[in-house]
Chain A
Amino acid sequence: MFFQQLVNGLTIGSTYALVTIGFNLVYGVLELTNFAHSSFYMLGAYLTVFSMTWLLGRVTPLGFFIGLGISIVITGLLGALMDKASLEPIRKRNGAPITALLTTVGVQTIINNSILLIFGTESKPFPDVFQLGKVYVGDTVIQIFQIIIFVVAILLMLGLSYLVYRTKIGNAMRAISQNATAAKLMGINVNTVITITFLIGSAVAAISGAMMGTYYQKIDTLMGASVGLKSISSAVLGGMGSLPGAMFGGFIIGIVETMFAAYVGSGFRDAIAFIIMFVVLLIKPSGLLGVKIETKV
């Protein structure tokens, strides 16, 4: 029973981790709370199933990967477009951080309601193309796909960490996050790097959306809203801007939530994430693995 709950909690935690990693990538560079990130997650899932079933008409693993590819490209480009069209002008005018935050809220509203308008409110089936089956460990049932989600979450974290800490563009990202003006003086094309960050972050969100769609075998227009707010809690818990923090934050929130639902009661399970977030922000705003925030006068 306990191990079963642990497995379920880790799976839900992986969902949060997958969404939070992309979120924290953007936060790490721009210190921007990107509310639109969860919308890109939902959009990624919708585009994958749309291209797989209606555009290609192939409900096979190959069709899934082609659909996922299309979804990643479109979602990534939309993320880049959002930055170019709405966030770059604000940066150019030295707008306040809160202005950019509200812009992402606006983009979130646009995407969510467009999806609602195009695809309707009822949930859509997401075909499980892999049919991987289950394994039994003692009396604990583990779906193979649960393991895959878990592994993908860790791989994405490692991959993005490699990107941020070992590559040239990653160096540029970290330079911008420390001091954008100095980065510009060193010859870094600040706006392009930030746009690429959004491109990667949104593409990662699309991957997460497709994974989750396959796991739950259905998608609906509310999938972004609930996961999105909880991924912000995961980010706060793990440390805003930290990629390993995003993963651990997601895992912890998922496990605590599942355990709470199993042993205390399911009523308030959705509130737990926010209570954790509340407490972390009040006691240690930098989170578990985050960098200490310095306020400059």
Chain B
Amino acid sequence: MVENNQNPIDKASQQNLDEAVIKAPIKSKEKPVKRFFTSLLEFWAKHQTAISLAFLAIAILFPILFNQQYFLSIGVNVMLYATLSVSLNLITGFMGITSLSHAAFLGIGAYTAAILSTRLGANFPITFLAGAAMAGLFGLLLGLPSLRIKGRFLAIVTLGFGEIARMVELNWMSLTRGPQGISGIPKVSLFGWIMKTPAQKYYVILVILVLVVLAVAAIMNSRVGRAISAIRDDEVAAEAMGINVFGYKLMVFSISAAFAGLAGAFYAHYMSFIDPNAFSFAQSILILSVTIFGGMASIAGSIFGALTLLALPELLRFLIDYRLIIYGFVLVIMMVFQPNGLLGSFNLKHIKQQAMFRKSQERSES
């Protein structure tokens, strides 16, 4: 599990840098398609911030251009799954722990928000914070005993947790109303201003997505992020370097669960009705396939994955019945041919370094 998530480019980073000098003259002989992709990636690596901002601008303008319920509901769906996928990527992609319980954390957040708002009349920001905190707390409680278990057993434990959570939601009638679900959850309101149009709901989830993306990017660029990468690449070596492996795992697992809970709180307010069926094993699989399809350890990949897997079937409406079958094939094909996902095999930082290095070489030659 550890070996596979290792980024091949990372591993050979130093070696590649040394070889770049030798490789540079051969570049013109590369196949045109490959050269096109290389230059595309280089362009992306160089203007990463600008491209992200451009995509953000498109996302902001989207409701103005397509102000229809149908398009906006697709947009909300994509954003919701992008949020979930980015948060799952933090543990599965960046840290290398396969979790099959993300739907449970989504459910815990949703139920917390739903119960608080229907029983106590609470609303934004209390329900969102409480949903995130409750999911984070359960992440901590699940992680405390189970994160010491290795590899595939951990995946089974998270699976079991997901099922237990659903059983509790189904059976704790006095709290969750069981299979009937909770209905009539009020819409998000901000200091008395109620978000009721589709466009307003869209902006709420957009803000959540941007916050989660920024938080994950910030984590990965910090000391914690470097510890996470070290743990993914080699747990024993990380421990030997003085990294508190268990502590970091626990922290990251809990943070990831909290983000899922945040998405869950939004889900409850957005749907205004929730029942345990929405938080089943199949939902966890869906979130996982978005993450894997887009790319392990790639934030852009997660967003791209959500865009492809949730918007594409809408474009091809005749495929909607086959959607889950397609997800199955996506999972299998990805695992066989590209286990790191579509955008998971590129290290933008490294590509940028390489491009700069080559440029400086060319300059010194001329």
Contact = CB atoms under 8 A, between A and B. Distances in A.
A103 B336 contact: yes
Residue among B150, B156, B164 having the largest count of chain A Cβ atoms under 10 Å: B156
B328 A109 contact: yes
Nearest to A228: B281
Nearest to A86: B332
A90 B332 CA distance: 10
Nearest to B280: A225
B336 A98 contact: no
B324 interface: yes
B152 A117 contact: no
Nearest to A82: B332
Contacts of B149: 281-282, 285
23 contacts: A86-B332, A94-B3, A95-B335, A96-B4, A101-B155, A103-B331, A110-B325, A110-B332, A111-B328, A112-B324, A113-B324, A113-B325, A114-B325, A229-B160, A270-B167, A271-B163, A274-B161, A274-B164, A274-B167, A278-B164, A281-B156, A281-B160, A282-B145
A109 B327 contact: yes
Contacts of A274: 160-161, 163-164, 167
Nearest to A275: B164
Contacts, number: 127
A86 B146 contact: no
Interface residues of A, number: 44
A180 B200 CA distance: 58
B102 to A, nearest CB: 13
Contacts of B150: 295
B59 interface: no
A90 B338 CA distance: 10
A94 B4 CA distance: 9
B171 A267 contact: yes
B268 to A, nearest CB: 23
A20 B159 CA distance: 17
Contacts of B155: 33, 98, 101
Contacts of A114: 325
A100 B337 CA distance: 12
Given A90-B336, A96-B2, A229-B159, 17 more contacts: A33-B155, A89-B336, A90-B335, A96-B3, A102-B335, A103-B336, A105-B331, A106-B330, A107-B332, A111-B328, A113-B324, A113-B328, A229-B163, A271-B171, A278-B161, A278-B164, A297-B236
| B interface majority secondary structure | helix
Given A274-B164, A285-B149, A232 B330 contact: no
Given A106-B328, A106-B335, A113-B328, A96 B5 contact: yes
Contacts of A100: 335
B329 A106 contact: yes
Nearest to B162: A274
A99 interface: yes
Interface in B333-365: 335-337, 339
Contacts of A11: none
A101 B98 contact: yes
Residue among A106, A225, A270, A274 having the largest count of chain B Cβ atoms under 10 Å: A106
A102 B146 contact: no
A117 B328 CA distance: 14
A232 B288 CA distance: 20
Interface residues on B, range: 35 or more
Contacts of B98: 98, 101-102
A86 to B, nearest CB: 5
A278 B186 CA distance: 36
B152 A98 contact: yes
A233 B160 contact: yes
Contacts of A95: 4, 335, 339
B24 interface: no
A278 B160 contact: yes
A282 B142 CA distance: 11
A125 interface: no
A108 interface: yes
B153 interface: yes
Contact of B156 (A108, A113, A232): A232
Interface in A51-98: 86, 89-90, 94-98
B299 interface: no
A281 B325 contact: no
Residue among B5, B151, B335 having the largest count of chain A Cβ atoms under 10 Å: B335
A103 B289 CA distance: 11
B321 interface: yes
B61 interface: no
Interface in A255-286: 267-268, 270-271, 274-275, 277-278, 281-282, 285
A271 B166 CA distance: 9
A97 B2 CA distance: 10
Nearest to A278: B160
A164 interface: no
Contacts of B157: 277-278, 281
A116 to B, nearest CB: 8
Contact of B146 (A107, A232, A281): A281
B36 interface: no
Residue among A95, A102, A232, A236 having the largest count of chain B Cβ atoms under 10 Å: A102
Given A102-B288, A271-B167, A97 B328 contact: no
